[in-house]
Structure 1
Amino acid sequence: MSDWTNLSFANVATTSPAAHNASLAWSDALARGGAAEFDGEAEKNGMLPLRQATSRLLSCGVEDVCVGSSATELLCSIAWAVWPEEGSNVVSTRSSFPSTVYPWSRVAEASGAEIRLAEHDSNLYTNPKNILELIDESTSVVTLSHIEFSNGQRYDIEKFAKAAHSVGAILVIDATQSMGMFPIDATSCGADVIVSSGYKWLRGTYGAAVGYISPSIRSNLKPGLVGFRSHADIWDLRADRMDLPEDASKFEYTTIHFGAALGLAAAVEEICEIGIEEVWKHDLILAEAVVNGANHLGLGVVSPMSAEERSAIVSLRLPDGISSEVVAKRLQEEYSILVTSRSGFLRVSPHIDNSIEQVNSLISALEEILN
């Protein structure tokens, strides 16, 4: 293993060893025996371990969870399934990660719906009131990144669920920057859809993602993406009919990298064993250490600091004339410390694999670079 210090889980996780081993075991079996070691029954049930682990993490039923190859893929299928009609509007934020909005923009081009994006300030902070003011009787969808990728701002899912439902709209949450870091109770938070990639805070690898589809909307949705797995009995291979499953697995339509899915299941189970509340407590301690170190160096902290809005993402404004891209590159090349330059800020995002000592090393390295 390398000696990298990864303080950038909002970018790419250092894969959980359990996830890595599970993925390798699947790949080795496939290379060794093909279908002899991964037969039709194994393929049929290949996504079930991840669905089970995710249902445990989100406190929901296995029937509410589906698996895809990416959060974007799941969002695209959901957006086409929802199909916001002409005359309706979709509300989001201008600071959202593009994949949170793009699927809805593409569908809106075809349907005639309007896209409304709340503005942000110079810290990329979006006042929640500005989002709520865009919601009206014509709103069909509110779609938000639970935690904004640029500055770590966290939204109150319950508040936006109530606002969306009050006008008959649905709430779609991209939890790629929160699932695995912050506790989410899918059944009580009110969100209709929650999706997350697996290679960030969940500590999996590329090629697997998860989605929650609320029973309240599931029966009315027909996935935008379909394939042979879309039929309830995937090995009843006839092209003259397609009977969708009744549960969230209707959004599972094709083969994926099953090793990535099995690995992600192992990583999610690790988080469940630790306890997501304990993970959140640990990550907040590290985030606070980053903030204290930044204050010591006189750096600006652009991430929200209130208990209601903060996360384990801490974005720093460097002094005028100093490039966050250059500093991030120097930290990697000279100190083997991984952080990320995003939107002109230096973004630090520690997780359960990190320690206070590693955060202190980052602050010391920053002090040397800036001096």
Structure 2
Amino acid sequence: MTDARTFSSPLDLQSVRADFPILSRELAGGFPLVYLDSANSSQKPTQVVQAISDHYLKHNANVARAMHQLGAEATAAYEGGRDKVAAFIGATNRDEIVFTKNASEALNLAAHSLGASLKPGDVVVISEMEHHSNIVPWQLLCERTGATLKWFGVTEDGRLDLSNIDELLTEQTKIVSLTWVSNALGTINPIADIAVKAHAVGATVVVDASQAVPQFPVDVSTLGVDILVFTGHKAVGPTGIGVLWGRYDLLAALPPFLGGGEMIEIVRMTGSTFAAPPARFEAGTPPIAQAVGLGAALDYLSGIGMDKIAAHEHAIVEYALEGLKTVPGLKLLGPTDAVDHGAAISFELDGVHPHDVSTVLDTRGIAVRAGHHCARPVHERFGMQSSTRASFYLYTTPEEIDALVDGLGFVRSFFKVD
């Protein structure tokens, strides 16, 4: 295994970690926290927490309704968050940014509104490696409309199986919705290439970028997709906010998802007309403080540099894969090399249930996730009920990977695994 002393990262990890007070916690038993569950939810830097606190303590009011100073300040802060999201992902029009409560709601919005025109005989294409949030909304849509759901399979090495792409993408295919980075396998998919083929048959392309936006630079102006969604809490931002980016001409042609205040143009008892995007898709009081916090989070990531974060993630994944391969009886789920590999690694340890692996690691201060990670179909694809997942971010150190590898050795001895 590579010596942590020779590990090279473009980030000043000591400085980065100082921004995340939780990472200095000492847990029960005197063990330092080793947080390896960032694909589930990232930790938050002081700058984000302070931005949210400052908003509530000094500027709290509802947006777009109050005609007083606090209302104006809150509206400016909320819309400022929209501007920061647009800049961060390369959107050329701030009105292409729709705030939701999470990525799941954004995907449900996409399925509901895009699906309004689907009919029997139409096809929606997803993949076997999707998070449940990018499976269930499309299943429900197909049940409602009579459309057919089809999917890409996964190869033995955990990559998207594109061998039958010409059979899946035909003139009947109306929507293609894929994850950019698998939350279970860590696989980075060739979204731009698939989008070209999908558009050639007239399909609309939706991308779940929940694991992509936090990890590497994203530019929707050149990616070539139609809708992209992500969530704030995986990108050092707060919970309770998600983002849907869509081409403005597409959003302007879609019906609303939820009805209520602020998404309307005129309401009469005989019927209603609806506001232009993004207001059309933001019914009711929005996640105001969360948008402020997300803006602060993206400022924080931009200040460090997404290129540097991506390089660090790649280096830590390489280091982790090398270390995990030294653990006897450990089987990796997904790609076994760091090429096109995001910062999540799932595995099973022979003779020990993933829940037991996680529980014993937790007694040593090591936080990982166990289960099917809301990606049960891909686990079934590899004959597994569940797995253990370690996931990393800009604050992960090689010493924490060493602690994981050592901890897995302790798990084996604890359960007396030969």
TM-score (norm. length: structure 2): 0.79
Return the letter of the residue paired with 1:157. I
What are the superposed Cα offsets for residues 105-164 of structure 1, whole Å, 9 maximum, x if unpaired?
A: 222222111111233356765413345532211000000111112111111111111111
Which of 45, 69, 74 is the matching residue for 1:16? 45
Q: CA deviation at 1:248?
A: 3.7
1:222 corresponds in structure 2 to: 255
Aligned with 2:238 (options 205, 208, 213): 205
Of stretches 116-125 and 310-319 in structure 1, the one that deviates more from structure 2 is: 116-125
1:57-68 equivalences in 2 (<5 Å):
57-61=88-92, 62-68=94-100
Contact 1:172 1:193 in 2 (8 A): yes
**Whole-angstrom distance in 2 between the partners of 1:130 and 1:207:** 38
SS at 2:352 equivalent: coil
Q: Which amino acid aligns with 1:364?
A: D
2:187 aligned counterpart, secondary structure: coil
Q: What is the CA-CA distance between 1:97 and the residue it aligns to?
A: 0.7
Give 1:86's match in structure 2, choosing from 114, 120, 133: 120
- Of residues 289, 294, 316, the one that matches 1:286 is 316
Distance in 1 (CA, whole Å) between partners of 2:34 and 2:177 is 34
1:93–1:117 contact (8 Å) kept in structure 2 = yes
Matches within 5 A, 1:38-53: 39-53=70-84
Residue 159 of structure 1 corresponds to 193
In the TM superposition, residue 17 of structure 1 has moved relative to its aligned partner by 2.1
Kindly indicate whether residue 412 of structure 2 is the aligned counterpart of residue 370 of structure 1. yes
Instruction: Tell me the number of residue pairs that the alignment of Structure 1 and Structure 2 aligns.
Output: 364
Greater shift, 359-368 or 185-194, is seen at 359-368
2:321/2:337 contact within 8 Å kept: no
CA contact (8 A) 2:122 2:173 kept: yes
Q: How does 1:170-185 map to 2 (within 5 A)?
A: 170-185=204-219
Offset, 1:209: 0.9
Q: 1:113 to 1:336 in 2, by over 3 A?
A: same
Contact 1:212 1:248 in 2 (8 A): no
Name the aligned partner's letter for residue 59 of structure 1: G
State how far apart, in whole Å, the 2-side matches of 1:23 and 1:145 are.
Answer: 30
**Counterpart selection for 2:168 from 126, 129, 134:** 134
1:284/1:362 CA distance change after superposition, 3 Å: same
Partner of 1:357: 399
Question: Residue by residue, what CA displacement relative to the aligned partner does 1:83-107 show, whole Å, maximum 9, x if unpaired?
Answer: 2332101000133111112222222
Q: Which amino acid aligns with 1:286?
A: I
Match of 1:301 in 2: 332
More displaced stretch, 223-232 vs 178-187: 223-232
Determine the C-alpha separation between the residues in 1 that align with 2:109 and 2:160: 27
Counterpart position of 2:9: none
Please state how far the C-alpha of 1:368 moved relative to its aligned partner. Answer: 2.0
CA distance in structure 2 between the partners assigned to 1:268 and 1:336 by the alignment: 29
Alignment correspondent of 2:299: 269
Deviates further, 135-144 or 297-306: 297-306
Unaligned 5+ residue runs, structure 1? none
- Letter of the structure 1 residue corresponding to residue 101 of structure 2: S
Name the CA distance, whole Å, in 2 between partners of 1:33 and 1:191.
33
Residues 32, 330 of structure 1: alpha-carbon distance in 2 compared, 3 angstrom cutoff = farther
1:170 Cα offset (Å): 0.7
Give the match's secondary structure for 1:335.
coil
State which structure, 1 or 2, has the greater radius of gyration over its C-alpha atoms. 2
In the TM superposition, residue 193 of structure 1 has moved relative to its aligned partner by 0.3
Q: 1:220 corresponds to which letter in structure 2?
A: A
Amino acid at match of 1:230: M
Partner of 1:318: 349
Aligned mates of 2:38, 2:227 — CA distance in 1: 23
**Whole-angstrom CA distance in 2 between matches of 1:132 and 1:228:** 44
Distance 1:291 1:82, change over 3 A: same
In 1: Cα distance, 2:202 partner to 2:158 partner: 29
Distance 1:337 1:307, change over 3 A: closer
TM-score by length of 1: 0.89
Is the aligned partner of 1:108 residue 2:142?
A: yes
Q: Is the 8 A contact 1:228 1:237 kept in 2?
A: no
SS at match of 1:191: coil
Equivalent residues of 2:160, 2:189 under 8 A apart: no
The AA in structure 2 aligned to 1:213 is G
Other structure's SS at 1:133 match: helix
- Counterpart Cα distance in 1 of 2:339 and 2:319: 19
Whole-Å separation in 2 of the counterparts to 1:260 and 1:10: 19
Q: What is the distance in 2 between the residues matched to 1:95 and 1:7?
A: 21
1:182 and 1:133 mapped to 2: Cα distance? 31
- % identical aligned pairs: 23
* Alpha carbons of structure 1 residues 45 and 109: separation in structure 2 relative to 1, 3 Å: farther
Q: Is the 8 A contact 2:34 2:365 kept in 1?
A: yes
Q: Secondary structure at the match of 2:205?
A: strand
Correspondent of 1:345 among 368, 379, 387: 387
